[in-house]
Amino acid sequence: MKGSIDLYEYDKAVRNDYPIFCGVDEAGRGPLAGDVYAAAVILDESTVIDGINDSKKLTPRQRDRLYDEIIEKAAAYSIGIATVEEIESLNILEAAMLAMKRAVDGLSVKPQLAIVDGNRCPTLECECISVVKGDATSASIAAASVLAKVTRDRRMEELALEYPRWRFEKHKGYGTKLHYEMLDKYGESPIHRHSFLKKYYAAKK
């Protein structure tokens, strides 16, 4: 629990200068398939969500529980997406920035500041600071990491019904052994990021 308390202490310090701020994080920069997702979350000063943490440190069951609680208790939240087509035309970093911008722009409450996981800020209407390992530093960023991760995972499970050959429900588009086996067998699906498969194709020559 100590780590969770520390996350709220960080947010409390930010709130001294910016009473209304959002945490922002993305999910899905690394996979070989699917859109990249981002979430922006504003938590009230009095809101405490027990067990909140960097989504990568949580089990799927923990993330699902926290997802429901975050949506219920957040003062505002928003999900932004950049499509596979945008990833291919822009590059994954710029697409992730675009998804983050869309998430912040979609908030029903306008923040004075956005604190963003990572080392770079998207172009926003409000002030923005980047925080390396922010999802392990700020409760608001950790909340955003959970929403982005769960939303993306659920979408990949839906896409698995449309494209059952590739078993997206198992690997969520990440480059696992199973995923590469399905690529070997069936080639690309319409939701694969072709540019992410260059090394895969080069190795097959």
| Separation of alpha carbons 124 and 104, rounded Å | 8
pLDDT at 5: 55
Of the candidates 116, 113, 111, the one whose C-alpha atom is nearest the C-alpha of residue 97 is: 116
Helix (H) or strand (E) holding 167, with range, is: none
SS3 51: coil
- Enumerate domains of the chain plus CATH numbers: 2-204 (3.30.420.10)
pLDDT at 3: 47
Residues of the chain with pLDDT under 50: 1-3
pLDDT at 167: 98
Distance of CA 34 to the CA centre of its chain: 13
CB distance 104 to 112 below 8 Å: no
pLDDT at 67: 97
CA atoms within 13 A on the CB side of 166: 28
Of the candidates 4, 13, 34, 9, the one whose C-alpha atom is nearest the C-alpha of residue 153 is: 34
CB distance 86 to 40 below 8 Å: no
- Segment 19-75, tens digit of pLDDT: 999 999 999 999 999 999 999 999 999 999 988 877 788 899 999 999 999 999 999
Of the candidates 1, 136, 151, 3, the one whose C-alpha atom is nearest the C-alpha of residue 77 is: 151
